[in-house]
Copies of this chain bind each other. A is one copy, B any other.
Amino acid sequence: MSASGKPIVVLTGGTGGAKFVAGLAAAMPPKEITCIVNTGDDLDWWGLRVCPDLDSITYVLSGRLSRERGWGVEGDTFLCRDAMKAYGAPAWFSVGDKDVALHLLRTQLLRGGKSLSEATAEITTRLGADACILPMSNSPVETRVGTPEGELGFEEYFVGRRFQVPVEYVRFQGSESARPAPGVLDAIASAEAIVIAPSNPVTSIGPILAVPGIREALAHTGAPVIAISPLVGKAAVSGPAAALMAASGLPVSLFGIAKAYHEFMDVLIADYADAADASVLVQSGVRVHTTDIIMRNDEDKKRLGLLTILMVEQYSRLRTADARQATAVTQGTQS
Contact = CB atoms under 8 A, between A and B. Distances in A.
Nearest to A106: B47
Q: How many copies does the complex hold?
A: 2
A105 B87 contact: yes
A126 B80 contact: no
Nearest to A76: B79
Contacts of A126: 87-88
A46 B84 CA distance: 18
Interface stretch (A34-42, A96-104, A178-186, A206-214): A96-104
A90 to B, nearest CB: 11
Contacts of A107: 47
Most chain B CB neighbours (cut-off 10 Å) among A48, A83, A102, A126:
A83
Nearest to A75: B79
A108 interface: yes
Chain A binding surface, main DSSP class: helix
Most chain B CB neighbours (cut-off 10 Å) among A98, A101, A108:
A101
Interface string A53-76: 000000000000000000001001
B111 A47 contact: yes
Nearest to A126: B87
A89 interface: yes
Given A47-B107, A126-B88, A100 B100 contact: yes
